[in-house]
Amino acid sequence: MPFVMLLEFEPHESMPALRRGDADVIITTTDFVGHPLDPAIDLMPLGSDEVVLVLPPGHQLTAHDAVPLAACADQRWIFDVDRSYMSDLSTRLCREAGFEPAVIGRFNNYMVALQHVEGGGSITLLPSLAVDPRYRVVTRPLSPPVTRRITAAVRRPASPRPEITAVLTALRAAR
């Protein structure tokens, strides 16, 4: 019986895995800096996802509709693990806002990050799709807004494979 195996890669790891044939379809973002797209890869846009500021309940910045990142310069931050997409993006956004973030922890699990923020120990930036409503946190959009594009990618086939066509068809239907 055919099956789909799911693997987790960082965006900068997923494209090489696709090119090597270690993956047949990837769902990724093409917004990472410094990694050119391969012309032998077909991209299918799936949607976009806002990057949001995640705060503990009652935090002073929850009063804002949208938060300029510069207003967070004196905060304690948690980030994803070093050299991950979200860590690199968060670091870059903070630096562009004029400050070096005080990173007090790094987690490769968004639920652990949400739990830390919920406990009042820090703030973070996360994709809005990663914010689990079971955690008592408050999200605020950034000013200016930051979004990531979510894209499916496949190698250009010599001949179409039915299992890959089925996955792409399901992804298109779910958009």
Quick one: which of 36, 32, 37 has its CA closest to 9? 32
Instruction: Express each pLDDT in 102-140 by its tens digit.
Output: 999 999 999 999 999 999 999 999 999 999 999 999 999
Instruction: Find the angle CA(126)-CA(130)-CA(134) to the nearest 5 degrees.
Output: 115
Alpha carbon distance 147, 45 (integer Å):
14
Q: Dihedral angle at the C-alpha atoms of 24, 26, 31, 34, nearest 10 degrees?
A: -40
Q: Which amino acid is present at 16?
A: P
Question: What are the backbone angles phi and psi of residue 139, rounded to the nearest 5°?
Answer: -110, 145
| Alpha carbons 97 and 27: distance in angstroms, whole number | 29
Confidence of residue 35 (pLDDT cuts 50, 70, 90): low
Among 56, 52, 5, 50, CA closest to 26: 5
* Position 32 pLDDT exceeds 70: no
pTM for the predicted model, two decimal places: 0.87
